[in-house]
Amino acid sequence: MILSQTQKGSLTILGGFLTHLVCGAIFNWGTLNIYMTSYFRTQGDQDLQISTGVAIYPIMMIFVATGMPLGIQGIRLFGSARKYLYFASLLTMFFQFISSYTTHFWQYVLAYGVGFGVSTGSIYFVPLYMGYLYFPKRKGMVAGIILCGYGLSALIFGFIFFQLVNPNNKDPEKDSIDGQFYFQGKSVDVALNVPSSIRYCCIIQVFLLLLGSSLVCYHPEQIGEQEKRVYIMPNSFIKTQKIKKNFQPAPNVKTALCSKHFFYLILIGVLGTGFGILVNSNYKTIGKKVIVDDKFMTMVGSFSSLANGLSRLFWSSLIDKYSFKQLITSIFILQIFLALTMQLSFYHKIYYLFQVYLIVSNMGGTLTLYPPFSAQIFGVQVGSKIFGLYWYGFGFANFVQFLIVREFEKKIGFINIFYIYAGITFLALVVLFIADFKPDWSKYYKENNQNVKKQQQNMRIQKN
């Protein structure tokens, strides 16, 4: 059966959604932290604290960013996006599986934070890139559907993991030393269920990864194919043409990285994502100060994961109609309001759930607008290669919130930290106001054409 380009593109998007259901496990750490920390406290790290366990979240973001450029190069190396995804999927599950046998937190950081992070990072942009090739004028739609899977991952696997690890809904107990809650004493069996629960999740995840990889289709314009055609028809490659000012993408990665547009995007990402990451990774720690109900807090995590997924569909669908600047401005204004009113959510459980839902929706919206906008402003090829660098910015924001919570939470409390992030988000708005996102890459192409002409003239002179 011969499929049309639209059908192949639709299958590719579906495949991307399924693979991202696994890759998005990074956002599940807010749910997993208390279980993993409790488990390692029963093994070789008796003094491990929740605040230390949070550290794996920024570490994972950094290594996800490290893996992102590898995916596009993997397509070139394997000659097929599908083949590379098979390889990366098996590697991902290898790291996930061996993480269940670790007995020290540092071992888990290496297996899950570093190994799993790099391998899922290399998968991240591959289906997005292939989807953009099939639907070049609907990048927002492509990103929204695929990244919805990334956001929903924590909802699905958070629920599955909870049913496996804590089927009787036992509550954690307050530790007499650091005042935090852990699964210990009468609830220690919950902590001991962690390794087997991870392995059961692996079985489901490897199925989703391989099925999703099988649905990603070949596209004749994918990276590596152009080079093959150039090799076959070298004379058709070097030619001069009239430059269309608003059509050409960034000529190369170096030019894109040296542009003010890239600098603005990194700075806005660092300043604008910290608050959402803070709440997403600490919602249990924040909530348990007034809500001692593990089942309800797991429901909060489920709703925040739902927000992370659905918000990606919503915001990315708008980028094909509205400017990046307009959408991010709306997100940041709402985020400032939420940061200033967060303390009110402590008065009722349902209000707390709703507040976390909106905050994580904002975070999901910010993160999901970056892939299509990067492709819009720099082009699909260059935008896909540099996208991982934005995640270094997100990872840096994650480290900052981790350090702020670790050093200042006991001194000033979460409420004052929320006020600090309201100010940081306002700075992001200021940067957004002065930022310019209308690049003119045509001058670089003109310079390149002039250089090509000079090279051709020199070659003729040398021949004569």
Same domain, 213 and 292: no
User: Would 219 be classed as within a structural domain?
Assistant: yes
Dihedral pair phi/psi, residue 174, rounded to 5°? -75, 130
Residue in the structure block whose two tokens are 């009239």? 242
DSSP summary character for residue 18: H
Same domain, 190 and 46: yes
Which structural domain range is residue 135 located in? 5-223
User: Would 458 be classed as within a structural domain?
Assistant: no
Number of domains in the chain: 2
Q: Quick check: 18 and 208 in contact, CB under 8 A?
A: yes
User: Would 232 be classed as within a structural domain?
Assistant: no
- Report the distance separating Cα 448 and Cα 445, nearest Å: 5
Same domain, 110 and 173: yes
Residue 339 carries which side chain, given as an amino acid letter?
Answer: A
User: Would 116 be classed as within a structural domain?
Assistant: yes
The residues facing 182 across adjacent strands are: 173
Of 382, 79, 144, 226, nearest in space to 135 by CA:
144
Same domain, 349 and 414: yes
- Report the distance separating Cα 13 and Cα 147, nearest Å: 10
pTM: 0.76
Of 405, 430, 113, nearest in space to 274 by CA:
405
- Which helix (DSSP H) or strand (DSSP E) does residue 101 occupy? none
User: Would 373 be classed as within a structural domain?
Assistant: yes
Q: How far is CA 294 from CA 53, 225, 228, 272, in A?
A: 18, 52, 56, 30
Same domain, 314 and 433: yes
Same domain, 144 and 259: no
Same domain, 194 and 318: no
CATH number at residue 336: 1.20.1250.20
Per-residue pLDDT of the chain (464 residues; tens, 9 = 90+): 788 888 999 999 999 999 999 998 887 777 788 899 999 999 978 888 887 887 788 888 889 989 988 988 899 899 899 999 999 999 999 999 999 999 999 999 999 989 999 999 999 989 999 998 999 888 888 888 998 888 888 888 888 888 899 988 888 888 888 777 888 888 899 999 999 999 999 999 999 999 999 999 988 888 766 555 444 444 433 343 343 444 477 888 888 888 899 999 999 999 999 999 898 888 877 877 667 676 787 788 778 888 888 888 888 888 878 888 999 999 999 999 999 998 888 888 888 899 999 999 999 899 888 888 888 888 877 887 788 888 889 889 988 988 898 888 888 988 899 999 999 999 999 999 998 888 877 777 665 555 545 555 655 566 55
Residue 414 carries which side chain, given as an amino acid letter?
Answer: F
User: Within 13 Å and on the Cβ side, how many CA atoms surround 419?
Assistant: 8
Same domain, 165 and 286: no
**Four-residue CA torsion sign, 307, 313, 316, 318:** negative
- What's the farthest any 2 CA atoms get from each other in the chain? 90
Same domain, 331 and 415: yes
Same domain, 195 and 142: yes
Q: 18 Cβ partners below 8 Å, 6+ apart?
A: 149, 208, 209, 211, 212, 215
User: Would 171 be classed as within a structural domain?
Assistant: yes
User: Would 244 be classed as within a structural domain?
Assistant: no
User: Would 461 be classed as within a structural domain?
Assistant: no
Helix (H, G, I), strand (E, B) or coil at 182: strand
Same domain, 270 and 345: yes
Same domain, 285 and 360: yes
